[in-house]
Amino acid sequence: MSSTPFTAPPLPHQVNTTSQHNHKTTSVAGHRVKIAGLNLPAAQSVSLPANQKQEVLIIPSSSTPAFGSFFTIDIKNTGIILNNIILQFQYGTVVGSGLTGYFNPAWFHFTRIEVLQNGQTIDTIYGNQQFLLNQMIYYDEDRFSINQAAGQYSSTAQRTILSSQAATNTFYIPLRTHLNQAKIHLINPTDFVQLRVYMDTLANIFYVSAGTLTSCAFNAANVICDVTHLDQEEVNKRSMDIVQNSHHWIFHTSSYFTATIPSGVTSATLILASIVGNVAGLFFTLRASVVGTGAWNYYQLASYHLLDSASLSLVGGQPLPAALCANILNAQYCLSSYNIETSFGANDNKANFYVYSFSTDFVDALQHGRSLGSRKFFGNEQLVLNFPSAIGSNLQLDCYAIVENVLDQSSYSIKKVSM
């Protein structure tokens, strides 16, 4: 008598991950593992039924968009897995007297976006941060397409074309949120996602090269959602499962620290007071204190150092030179060639950003939400900046820490829990 051999479920490391380029799902998925009391999906993979449907939804804003104000977009669809979201801004003709000019890259049209679920703020993202993430975690061919749709930072000619349409000037901005890392299924009405988009003023986002800027209509704002639509049988199955056990998803929020560096100094030591939690890594830039046009032109350091509250080094004992960061270290954290667009090479787009990772794979943690190492920050760590010479004008530091969190999803609520 023959018997069917026993096949053990795959271990987390044996399950394939989501493809970056075509969003293929795992061939073996759905097994959840218990880690530190959390009910996590194996390798953060998601099981999908054979009759699942991939759809693109275009959802208009729930309130009227305007420059210098905020508006909301509500994603209330249920029975879906929300894979990622893209913002679309549609502006009218730019009006002025003898006016020529162009819009900044669209990441710099908003100051921040709050991402809410079940009425709670899960994460807050920032334009400068989103711009850098899109340069870091895509290969060049993908990055080129993204920049062309949002306004190419390295080409005023392309931004002029994108800004000079007779009726509608349209910009697309892919957003990196917790939804990219945790493939959350939206089953219940309480799961709905809301974006609160805080726009900058028209004067700050449109560069006037000649003439006078008068006005520009903000025609529309939409969110474009890449979703997996589940059939009713799968919805019922997942609903019953989540009643029995809350689901948990690892993801990374942004802790933001900013400060003004006064002119005339050759070094500065800053206490990263707002950065608390398990930090997988952080990145920072320095730019003119009055940002606007050219907000993506970053100032070059001589070196930097990270210290704990007792002034002990967190990065190996010595300050990290700028040339080492730009040419070698940043290559570990940047899939594209953006990191070499500095004065150390022939093509200088002032891409002077600085990254330090406590994770073994910073990009993988950002893309898939994996917990691959971190360091506990207490809000008293120090960032030491050393400049090549005394700076001639005030600079603004923007530091973004990627902090590990867990999303707790039950049958009646979604909430963020610190790890």
Q: What is the pLDDT of residues 125-184, one digit of tens each?
A: 999 999 999 999 999 999 999 999 999 999 999 999 999 887 889 999 999 998 888 877
Residue type for 93, please? T
Report domain extents, the chain. Answer: 41-245, 252-406
Quickly state the pLDDT bin for 246 (edges 50, 70, 90): confident
Quickly state the pLDDT bin for 50 (edges 50, 70, 90): low
Q: What is the DSSP letter of 333?
A: S
Predicted pLDDT at 207: 93
| C-alpha pair distances (Å), 387 with each of 29, 266, 271 | 50, 5, 18
d(CA 238, CA 234) in angstroms, rounded, equals 6
Predicted pLDDT at 48: 53
Tokens of 379: 């809000």
Quickly state the pLDDT bin for 49 (edges 50, 70, 90): low
- Where is mean pLDDT largest: 22-36, 233-247, 329-343, 380-394? 380-394
d(CA 49, CA 34) in angstroms, rounded, equals 23
Predicted pLDDT at 370: 85
| C-alpha pair distances (Å), 74 with each of 71, 81, 169, 171, 290 | 10, 15, 23, 20, 32
> Residue 10: is its pLDDT beyond 60?
no
CATH T-level assignment (fold) for domain 252-406: Jelly Rolls (2.60.120)
d(CA 319, CA 332) in angstroms, rounded, equals 18
Beta strand spans in 107-153 (E): 110-117, 120-126
- Domain 41-245 class, CATH top level: mainly beta
Check: CB of residue 270 under 8 Å from CB of residue 397. Answer: yes
Q: What is the pLDDT of residues 64-87, one digit of tens each?
A: 999 999 999 999 998 888 888 999
Check: CB of residue 246 under 8 Å from CB of residue 238. Answer: no
d(CA 309, CA 379) in angstroms, rounded, equals 9
d(CA 121, CA 119) in angstroms, rounded, equals 7
Lowest-pLDDT range of 155-159, 291-295, 354-358: 291-295
| C-alpha pair distances (Å), 300 with each of 325, 387, 397 | 11, 8, 12
> Residue 241: is its pLDDT beyond 70?
yes
Check: CB of residue 407 under 8 Å from CB of residue 178. Answer: yes
Closest CA to 132 of 147, 115, 116: 147
DSSP reduced 3-state for 163: helix
> Residue 42: is its pLDDT beyond 90?
no
- Rounded average pLDDT over 201-212: 93
Measure CA 5 to chain center: 45
d(CA 47, CA 82) in angstroms, rounded, equals 14
Phi, psi of 237 (to 5 degrees): -60, -45
d(CA 264, CA 364) in angstroms, rounded, equals 39
Mean pLDDT of the chain: 87
Quickly state the pLDDT bin for 37 (edges 50, 70, 90): confident
